[in-house]
Structure 1
Amino acid sequence: MDQIQQLTSGLDTIWVVLTAAMILLMEGGFALLEAGFVRQKNAVSIIMKVFVDISFGALIFYFFGFALMYGKDIGGIIGTTGFFMGGDLSHISLTISHDTYWLFQCAFVIAVISIVSGAVAERINFRAYILYTIAMTGLIYPIAGHWVWSVGGWLGKLGMIDFAGSAVIHGLGGFSALAAAMIIGPRIGKFSADGKANIVPPSNLPLASVGAFILWFGWFGFNSGSTLSATNTSIGHIAVTTMLSAAAGCAACILFTMMRYRKADPPMVINGALAGLVGITAGCAFVSDAAAICIGAICGIAMVYATEILEAKQIDDPVGAFPVHGISGSIGTLAVGLCAKPDAIREGTAGLFYGGGFHLLGVQALGLVTVCAWGFFITWVFLKLIKLIVPLRVSRDEELIGLDVGSHGVPAYSQEEGFLDLQHLKNNQ
């Protein structure tokens, strides 16, 4: 028996480490996607923010974020043990070590802050972004995650189901991104005096497409890895629903934009695939293949409408972080309350469409509203506080020249032209 347990533990450890690495590779996807969506003069600034996400995010989550999220709690609200991965973590009972579990969860927290970075691209102050990254990875996300995923979290006790994070990661990140975009304001020239949105062409759609493909690949680690077990028989089904939902979101966007704009819109199609991936994340282990297709298609179309609404409200979200993550994450979370199969959910709970009544749907709605409201309002508060320390936004000259040269002193491509712009900026300061 001991040998069997050791073998199981070893296999589970390999599985979780590999899927954690797949999720970490998604940062390369975020980097390429966002660099392709923004203008050429801001590509380096996107890459630098991704490095902030990974480095500061990992360290802060190790120092105290993990403790607040998974430590022994007080009243289901916040963890109090496990700082620096020490102290009492005996309540976390898994076949993998606490170090392995931390690594997997660390990959998740890095993904959360990466959602926000796209919404404030091309105009946020780099120092302000570092401070916000510390707040998100050390406090905002860990507390929300504790409510749902920890042993004693109050939303988890009520029965909320979010398998891999449609609400905890994407809903939270999406609504935090919305708050950040609203506070920091639109890019110069994005909206005309009459409120009409001007097109800001992406710098490199092939690059953005490759980023989306990397994210799509990493999502199999995101969802299937959340089993935390290499011998869990649902891994295959999770991978299938993940694939189908992404494909449906992408296909729906192709067809919908062809009807709406008379041409298939490439940025929308890219985000349509991501919307389908976000939407299935909560219920990938609990819904049927048909439900996964419906969820993906609905998320893809809803993302298009949400993008149009943001522009009508003069909210500038360069990469579509809120439509992709906030809206699709919300749809996916509620879909569990509708489509969860009774044979797949703990304690025989089922979604409304399977005779489970409104209980699970109500819990999902309560959890979704709570997590998203927390992300929106606490982000608003932190950014207002950060503004008292450093400017939230770069100067007008810096934004016009580009953050690559203005904030980091180096252009992404043309060094000669970039350094001439930098010298011009210095001469006019």
Structure 2
Amino acid sequence: MKIWKTSLLATAVLAFAARGYAQDAEPVVTAADAMFTANNVWMMVSIFLVFVMHLGFATVETGLTRAKNAVNILFKNTAIVAIGLLTYALIGFALMYPGDSWLIKGFLGLSADGLGVHCPEGAAGLMDYAGGAYSYWTDFLFQGMFAATAATIVSGAVAERIKLPSFLIFSVIYVAIIYPFVGSWVWGGGWLAEMNFHDFAGSTLVHSVGGWGALASIMLLGPRMGKYVNGQIKAIPGHNMPLLTIGVFLLWLGWFGFNGGSVLSGDPGGVSFVLVTTSMAAAAGIIGSMIATWSIQKKPDLTMVLNGCLAGLVGITAGADVVSVFSSILIGLICGAVAVVSVMMFDKLHLDDPVGATSVHLVSGILGTLFVGVFSPDYSVGVQALGVLAYGAVCFPAAFICMLVLKLTLGVRVSEEEELKGLDIGEHGMEAYGGFQIFTNI
């Protein structure tokens, strides 16, 4: 009883003192301060969610490929995060957001601190950046997480037969130069931004950029051994469906940060609306792909349905902030169904993509970008189509030339023996499942 009375008295004294202080002192926290804090907290949470997406990519790619290549997949996805962040710090951030002196600071990536041209004086980087909306360091880390995603898309498409050194060199070039250069056209206030081209969180700027790189790479790399035999398509199933499923749900979770963080504000109205359209598109992508695969194959295919979920997410990423909730459902349905047909189309063309990255990221990225003009009255289908063509016209040749040079110099394809035994043994000298490895002839 005495303890209770003492605690109550102490609380009253503190409350009275705080009240007296508040009456005598000037307000310390302004509305701008509060909003700045809210914005930064939400964006940092979004950074954490986008970071988790790399685990999602790693598990999706591992699950959709064979056990003998699991270590190689995991190694590439680990290296890509490091490559993305470091190259973005050295050159990418300045190239993507060049400011007024594009030729010097943008192309060469030169700045006072090596990170970008917008860094405010001092290490704090607080209220004088982005109009006081959020800090310089929050912006850099958020955008840096996006940069690594483009190379991750390529990783899945070239899985199970590419040389590790060649892939890493390609990733450095593509993430350090190509991705931020074309990204500056829109997010850096470039020529497409001036034409009112809209890509909210990167259906084109991130996903189709990675998709074009993936398409060029698989064309030069060639299919896996045993994939196409005597003109027939032979399925090479992934080895771990539970891991694949976990990866897709991790990616869906990460997309709340990918799209939600792209609001660049902690404003509840803007963020919650984007999270709703994002979720509706993902759910509709599952239904669209389920209907398509069940109708075409007469069986519900788990891998197709999970890729349909991702296709819906990629499709809504361009317009999550400007299309209606009903439109987001239509976008997800269409992208999910088209992803199924697209996977089959690439197979008929003998373009081997083990994880369906070209269908999910390139095809759905293009569709999602065009749908902004279809479902939002504020944007033109023509301008959106021009942006899609411009990105394809630069990214595909750039990736093709880069991979071709590597093919003619270092080589890009592992030996037949190494491919048969698995890249885990050939490239890393280890196994993902020690003592339980299963070798096959394909």
Question: What's the TM-score once normalised by structure 2's chain length?
Answer: 0.87
Identity of aligned residues (%): 40
Bigger radius of gyration among the two? 2
Question: What corresponds to 1:48 in structure 2?
Answer: 75
Matched, 1:377 2:397: yes
SS in structure 1 at match of 2:147: helix
| Contact kept in structure 2, 1:72 and 1:89, CA below 8 Å | no
Matched, 1:396 2:423: no
Deviation string 1:26-48 (CA, Å, 9 cap, x unpaired) is 00100110000000100111100
What amino acid maps onto 1:363 in structure 2? V
Question: What corresponds to 2:35 in structure 1?
Answer: 8
**CA distance in structure 2 between the aligned counterparts of 1:417 and 1:26, rounded to whole angstroms:** 27
Question: What corresponds to 1:171 in structure 2?
Answer: 208
Deviation at 1:98?
1.4
Question: What corresponds to 2:64 in structure 1?
Answer: 37
Question: What corresponds to 1:186 in structure 2?
Answer: 223
Question: What corresponds to 2:286 in structure 1?
Answer: 250
- Count of aligned positions: 401
| Contact kept in structure 1, 2:291 and 2:337, CA below 8 Å | no
Deviation at 1:232?
5.1
Question: What corresponds to 1:117 in structure 2?
Answer: 155
Deviation at 1:92?
5.1
Question: What corresponds to 1:150 in structure 2?
Answer: 188
Structure 1 residue runs of 4 or more that deviate by more than 6 Å after TM superposition: 75-78
Q: Relative to structure 2, which stretch is displaced further, 381-390 or 110-119?
A: 381-390
CA spacing shift, 1:306–1:87, aligned 2, 3 Å? closer
**CA distance in structure 1 between the aligned counterparts of 2:241 and 2:104, rounded to whole angstroms:** 43
What amino acid maps onto 1:175 in structure 2? W
**CA distance in structure 2 between the aligned counterparts of 1:336 and 1:94, rounded to whole angstroms:** 29
Q: Relative to structure 2, which stretch is displaced further, 209-218 or 2-11?
A: 2-11
SS in structure 2 at match of 1:79: helix
Structure 2: where are the runs of 5+ without partners? 1-26, 121-128
Question: What corresponds to 1:221 in structure 2?
Answer: 257
**CA distance in structure 2 between the aligned counterparts of 1:362 and 1:75, rounded to whole angstroms:** 27
**CA distance in structure 2 between the aligned counterparts of 1:76 and 1:154, rounded to whole angstroms:** 15
Question: What corresponds to 1:84 in structure 2?
Answer: 114
SS in structure 2 at match of 1:147: coil
Question: What corresponds to 1:347 in structure 2?
Answer: none
**CA distance in structure 1 between the aligned counterparts of 2:408 and 2:99, rounded to whole angstroms:** 34
SS in structure 1 at match of 2:229: coil
| Contact kept in structure 1, 2:68 and 2:437, CA below 8 Å | no
**CA distance in structure 1 between the aligned counterparts of 2:67 and 2:411, rounded to whole angstroms:** 24
1:255-266 map, 5 Å? 255-266=291-302
Deviation string 1:28-77 (CA, Å, 9 cap, x unpaired) is 10011000000010011110000111011111111111111112256799
Deviation at 1:372?
2.3
**CA distance in structure 1 between the aligned counterparts of 2:85 and 2:116, rounded to whole angstroms:** 16
CA spacing shift, 1:338–1:51, aligned 2, 3 Å? same
What amino acid maps onto 2:188 in structure 1? S
| Contact kept in structure 2, 1:299 and 1:331, CA below 8 Å | yes
| Contact kept in structure 2, 1:223 and 1:281, CA below 8 Å | yes
1:245-394 map, 5 Å? 245-341=281-377, 350-351=378-379, 360-394=380-414
Deviation at 1:323?
0.4
Q: Relative to structure 2, which stretch is displaced further, 256-265 or 218-227?
A: 256-265
Matched, 1:135 2:162: no
**CA distance in structure 1 between the aligned counterparts of 2:282 and 2:117, rounded to whole angstroms:** 41
CA spacing shift, 1:260–1:126, aligned 2, 3 Å? same
**CA distance in structure 2 between the aligned counterparts of 1:305 and 1:281, rounded to whole angstroms:** 21
Question: What corresponds to 2:48 in structure 1?
Answer: 21
| Contact kept in structure 2, 1:78 and 1:146, CA below 8 Å | no
Deviation at 1:4?
2.1
Question: What corresponds to 1:410 in structure 2?
Answer: 430
What amino acid maps onto 2:393 in structure 1? A
Q: Relative to structure 2, which stretch is displaced further, 119-128 or 64-73?
A: 64-73
Question: What corresponds to 2:199 in structure 1?
Answer: 162
Deviation string 1:373-411 (CA, Å, 9 cap, x unpaired) is 322110001112223442211111111100011101101
**CA distance in structure 2 between the aligned counterparts of 1:302 and 1:379, rounded to whole angstroms:** 25
**CA distance in structure 1 between the aligned counterparts of 2:204 and 2:219, rounded to whole angstroms:** 21
**CA distance in structure 2 between the aligned counterparts of 1:235 and 1:336, rounded to whole angstroms:** 18
| Contact kept in structure 2, 1:161 and 1:364, CA below 8 Å | yes
Matched, 1:211 2:228: no
**CA distance in structure 2 between the aligned counterparts of 1:333 and 1:309, rounded to whole angstroms:** 21
Deviation at 1:79?
2.1
Deviation string 1:213-234 (CA, Å, 9 cap, x unpaired) is 0001100111010011112521
**CA distance in structure 2 between the aligned counterparts of 1:268 and 1:78, rounded to whole angstroms:** 44
**CA distance in structure 2 between the aligned counterparts of 1:238 and 1:68, rounded to whole angstroms:** 28
**CA distance in structure 1 between the aligned counterparts of 2:436 and 2:298, rounded to whole angstroms:** 41
**CA distance in structure 1 between the aligned counterparts of 2:421 and 2:74, rounded to whole angstroms:** 17
| Contact kept in structure 2, 1:249 and 1:296, CA below 8 Å | yes
CA spacing shift, 1:315–1:149, aligned 2, 3 Å? same
| Contact kept in structure 2, 1:240 and 1:289, CA below 8 Å | yes
SS in structure 1 at match of 2:233: coil
What amino acid maps onto 2:228 in structure 1? F
Question: What corresponds to 2:126 in structure 1?
Answer: none
| Contact kept in structure 2, 1:172 and 1:374, CA below 8 Å | no
| Contact kept in structure 2, 1:77 and 1:143, CA below 8 Å | no
Deviation at 1:86?
5.1
SS in structure 2 at match of 1:58: helix
| Contact kept in structure 1, 2:97 and 2:117, CA below 8 Å | no
**CA distance in structure 2 between the aligned counterparts of 1:279 and 1:124, rounded to whole angstroms:** 28
Give the superposed CA RMSD: 2.0
Deviation at 1:6?
1.9
**CA distance in structure 2 between the aligned counterparts of 1:67 and 1:149, rounded to whole angstroms:** 12
Deviation string 1:106-151 (CA, Å, 9 cap, x unpaired) is 1101111111100000011100111011111101100111001113
